[in-house]
Amino acid sequence: MKPEQVVLRLGELTLKGRNRHRFEKMVLEQVRKVLRPYPVIKYTKEFGRITLRLNGTDYETIVPLLRKVFGITSFSPVYTAELELGQMKQMALQVMHSIEQPPVTFKVNVRRANKSFPMDSQELNREIGGHVLRAFPALKVDVKRPEVELRVELREQEALIYCAVERGAGGFPIGSNGKAMLMLSGGIDSPIAGYLAMRQGLRIEAVHFHSYPFTSERSQQKVKDLAAKLSGYSGSIRLHMVPFTDVQTRIHQAYNKNLLITLLRRAMMRIAQKLAESHEAGALVTGESLGQVASQTLASMNAIGSVVHLPLIRPLICMEKQEIIDIAQSIDTFELSILPYEDCCTLFLPPSPSTNPNMKVIESIESGMPWLEEALNDAVLRTESVWIDTKQEANDPFSSFF
C-alpha cells in the first residue's frame, strides 16, 4: 500500500493576514522547486496547508526533500478511499496496520469538508472507531492524549485517511526575511550559524577566506562540501572564495604581535561587508559563540565587529558547544567539519592572542597601514564566485581528502 497524497502543515503560529498569505505562497514555491524533478505531482493550497497528489511518485523518495523545506512544521503520508463507509473502514484498518509500532491508544478524528455525506462526524467516528477496535482487541480509545490519531477527511471526491506525522524543518520559508552573507569557515560552528539563519528565513550567500597555497585545495573543497550540505535547504548557494594570502601576509609583515588575529579578523569583516553590499545582502552572519576562543570575548568581538555597519548576526552566541554539535549531527555537517583542515587564521598565529584588545591601539596600528584599503579591494576583485548545489556534495566526504 502506497500513499497517494501528502499533507504539508505550514507553520509560524504568530503570522497573520497578509504575512501569513505571503509565507504560505513562499513555502509552496520552495516545495515546487525541490520537487521539480517529479513533474506529475499536483499541488493544492488551502489555509495553513498544502496537499500534494503524488500521481505515482514514490513517497519515500521525496521525504528527505520535504524535510528540508523551511516553513513546513509537519507532514503526513495520506491514503485515499471512495466516499463510501465500507471503503473508508477498510482503508482505516489498512492505515492502522501500516504503523510499525502498534499503539496502545488511539482516536478517530473525522472532518467533514463535504457536508453532503449522509452521516455526520460523530456517527463516522463511532463507525470507523468501532471497526478498528474490533480488529485490534488490545487497542483502547483515548480522546485526550491518544498515541495515534487516525484522521479521516471527507472531501468532494474522496476521503483522505492518515495517521503518521513527520516533523518538518519549521522556521520561515527561505528568503522570506531577506538575504545575508554567511562567513563560512571549515569549522563546526559557521555551517550551523548558516543553517539557523536560513531557518529564520534568510537566503544565504557564503564567503570563505583561504590562504592558498599556504592552505590546501582540500580545505577549499571541504568548504564547498559544507556549502553543498546547506544548499539542500535552499536549492543552491553562491559561495565567494576570497584569496586572503596577500592581505594576510602584508598585515603580518607590518605587525606581528598579540593583536594580529584581531587585525586579520577586521580585514575579513571589511571584505565580507564589501561583498555583502555588492550582492545586496542586508546582514553578515558568523559562527561566533561567546567565550569559545580568544577572539570571541566581548572585547574582541566588539573590536572585530566595529568595522561593519551592517547588522552582524551571531546565531550561536549563547549556545553551548554540545548544542551546536547536536545540530551539526542532525543536519549532517559534523563529520565533514571535523575532517582535518587548515584555517587561514592559524597560519601566522601569535604566541598569545589578545583577549582584551584596545581600540585605540588597533586604530593606531591600522593607521600605519595606508595600503590596507586597496589590498582589501584587490582581494574582492580577485574573489571567485561559484554556485554550489547538492549535486556537488561529495557522496563520500572522505574521498576528496585521502
Asked if residue 95 lies in contact with residue 161, where contact means CB atoms within 8 angstroms, the answer is yes
**Is 183 flagged in the annotation as binding?**
yes
**Is 18 flagged in the annotation as binding?**
no
CB-wise, 72 or 207, nearer to ligand ATP? 207
Asked whether position 51 contacts ligand ATP by CB under 6 A, the answer is no
CA 241/CA 275 separation, integer angstroms:
11
Least CB distance to ligand ATP at residue 371 (A)? 22
CB-wise, 187 or 305, nearer to Mg ion? 187
**Is 369 flagged in the annotation as binding?**
no
Cell, residue 44: 493544492
288's contact among ligand ATP, Mg ion, none, with CB below 5 to 8 A by partner kind, is ligand ATP
CB-wise, 24 or 288, nearer to Mg ion? 288
Asked if residue 220 lies in contact with residue 208, where contact means CB atoms within 8 angstroms, the answer is yes
> Of the listed pieces 14-22, 41-49, 249-257, 286-294, which binds ligand ATP according to CB under 6 A?
286-294
**Are β-strands 49-53 and 42-46 bridged in parallel, bridged antiparallel, or unpaired?**
antiparallel
Interface residue with ligand ATP among 295, 300, 383, 390 (CB under 6 A) is 295
> Of the listed pieces 45-53, 111-119, 129-137, 180-188, which binds ligand ATP according to CB under 6 A?
180-188
Asked whether position 300 contacts ligand ATP by CB under 6 A, the answer is no
> Of the listed pieces 18-26, 72-80, 283-291, 376-384, which binds ligand ATP according to CB under 6 A?
283-291
SS3 of the chain: helix, strand, coil, percent, to 5: 40, 20, 40
Burial class of residue 65, CB neighbours in 10 A (0-12, 13-18, 19+): middle
> Of the listed pieces 63-71, 87-95, 118-126, 287-295, which binds ligand ATP according to CB under 6 A?
287-295
Residues 207-236 that bind ligand ATP (CB under 6 A): 207-209
DSSP state, residue 338: T
Per-residue burial over 253-283, b = 16 or more CB atoms within 10 Å of its CB, e = otherwise? eebeebbbbbbbbbbbbbbbbbbbeeeebeb
| DSSP per position, 181-233 | EEE--SSSHHHHHHHHHHHBT-EEEEEEEE-TTTS-HHHHHHHHHHHHHHHTT
CB-wise, 176 or 337, nearer to Mg ion? 337
Interface residue with ligand ATP among 63, 290, 293, 349 (CB under 6 A) is 293
Asked whether position 188 contacts ligand ATP by CB under 6 A, the answer is yes
Asked whether position 185 contacts ligand ATP by CB under 6 A, the answer is yes
287's contact among ligand ATP, Mg ion, none, with CB below 5 to 8 A by partner kind, is ligand ATP
**Which of 348, 352, 387 lies closest to 267, judged by CA?**
348
**Which of 65, 80, 92 lies closest to 166, judged by CA?**
65
Number of residues that bind ligand ATP (CB under 6 A): 20
127's contact among Mg ion, ligand ATP, none, with CB below 5 to 8 A by partner kind, is none
Asked whether position 187 contacts ligand ATP by CB under 6 A, the answer is yes
**Are β-strands 49-53 and 5-10 bridged in parallel, bridged antiparallel, or unpaired?**
antiparallel
**Which of 109, 108, 111, 117 lies closest to 157, judged by CA?**
117
CA 300/CA 317 separation, integer angstroms:
13
Residues 176-215 that bind Mg ion (CB under 5 A): 185, 187
Interface residue with ligand ATP among 8, 69, 183, 226 (CB under 6 A) is 183
345's contact among ligand ATP, Mg ion, none, with CB below 5 to 8 A by partner kind, is ligand ATP
Backbone angles phi, psi at 10, to 5 degrees: -100, 145
CB-based contacts of 126, cutoff 8 Å, min separation 6:
none
Give me the helix-helix angle, 245-254 and 260-278, nearest 10°: 150
Least CB distance to ligand ATP at residue 352 (A)? 15
What are the residues binding ligand ATP (CB under 6 A)? 183-185, 187-190, 207-209, 286-288, 292-293, 295-296, 343-345
Residue ranges for the binding site for ATP? 183-184, 208-209, 265, 287, 296
Positions touching Mg ion (CB under 5 A) are: 185, 187
Q: Which residues are annotated as a binding site?
A: 183-184, 208-209, 265, 287, 296
